[in-house]
Structure 1
Amino acid sequence: MPGSGKSTVGVLLAKRLALGFVDTDLLIQAAAGRTLQAIVDDDGYRVLRGIEERVLLDLNLEHHVIATGGSAVYSAEAMAHLRQNSTIVFLQVTLATVEQRIGDFSLRGISKRDDQSLAELFAERHELYSRTADITIACDGLSHEQVCNQIIEALDQPAR
């Protein structure tokens, strides 16, 4: 979800593991030539999700930490593509944390239906994130450094 710390933790993780870092929200904006919010405002959330899917399917990166947009999980094809060479990490936060961190979500370029509340979007995505993730990190009450440490510890564990 927006406000979960994907970009901040992603940069820290990339530094700690000596990997490159990519924030796909920035790639989406570069591909579209406008902000996420402008895409949603002008063309709707489905167009944003389509651009995001194309950007993800075009990624062929190894040895990188990738912070995806929150709606990446809506594309099974994109997630399967990422999973080929990646470990999918879900930074799990509560709705209260998301609300506190992002404030006015109408300005964040969030891919959601017009009639959908943030709480409804959160519940919908939480289910998808939980199902898709290889590793889930409960982030509430942790600093970004602590979240990074937990990801590294989880990556070092043998697969179950």
Structure 2
Amino acid sequence: MNNNNIILIGMPGSGKSTLGVLLAKYSGYSFVDLDLIITKKTGKKLQKILDQDGYNAFLKIENQVGKELDCEKTVVATGGSMVLSAEGMEHLKKIGTVVYINVPIDEIIRRVTNVATRGIAFKDGETLNDVFKERTPLYEKYADVTVDFENAANLEETVDKIMEKLNLHK
């Protein structure tokens, strides 16, 4: 099993999918979004899984997708809640370098305006702030590399930072 993948983790709205596509383009890697794999596997949008099957069922599916992923030279955008799935994260760490996209909570709140329909795994009554406090220690625990992404206008600059930290070249 190869460990030449780039695994992106971070809060919902941190830019994992957007940065992932650009990172794949510049590095020559493939790109996969685990949220899309979940949608394809279940035949349901993320929000529908959460609404119909519940939070725990969603996390179980996400864990399964994470621990079954088999790819190489691929940029992988995970769902923001993947870090809650220990088995999935351990597998992802084995197959790649985990990059934490660190975005301040006030910027996350500014970016994520469609919380009720976006397919974000929340426990009942949780806010983005609660999720941030719960998950940040997990993002830090699993990260091999951390990249700050405070300003969405600096996409290219952030991709360059990631590539530099991973010793990749455009």
Sort the TM-score into its range (normalised by shorter chain).
over 0.9
Report the residue type matching 2:87 in the other structure: E
Structure whose residues are more often helix by fraction: 1
What is the CA deviation profile of residues 24-59 of structure 1, one whole-angstrom value per residue up to 9, with x for unaligned ones? 000001111111000111111111111111111111
- What is the DSSP-based 3-state SS (H/G/I as helix, E as strand, rest coil) of the residue aligned with 1:103? coil
Report the residue type matching 2:157 in the other structure: Q
Point out 4+ residue stretches in structure 1 off by more than 6 angstroms: none
Q: What is the match of residue 78 of structure 1?
A: 88
- TM-score, with structure 1 as normaliser: 0.94
Q: Does 1:11 align with 2:15?
A: no
Q: What is the match of residue 29 of structure 1?
A: 39
Gaps of 5+ in 1: none
The alpha-carbon deviation at position 108 of structure 1 amounts to 1.1
The alpha-carbon deviation at position 84 of structure 1 amounts to 1.1
Q: What is the match of residue 55 of structure 1?
A: 65
- What is the DSSP-based 3-state SS (H/G/I as helix, E as strand, rest coil) of the residue aligned with 1:65? strand
Q: What is the match of residue 157 of structure 2?
A: 146
Q: What is the match of residue 120 of structure 1?
A: 130
The alpha-carbon deviation at position 141 of structure 1 amounts to 2.5
The alpha-carbon deviation at position 66 of structure 1 amounts to 0.2
Provide the aligned C-alpha RMSD in A: 1.2
What is the CA deviation profile of residues 47-84 of structure 1, one whole-angstrom value per residue up to 9, with x for unaligned ones? 11111111111111111000000111111111111111
Q: How many angstroms apart in 1 are the aligned matches of 2:156 and 2:60?
A: 33
- What is the DSSP-based 3-state SS (H/G/I as helix, E as strand, rest coil) of the residue aligned with 1:156? coil
2:104 counterpart (94, 101, 120) = 94
Gaps of 5+ in 2: 1-10
Give the share of equivalent positions with the same residue, in percent: 43
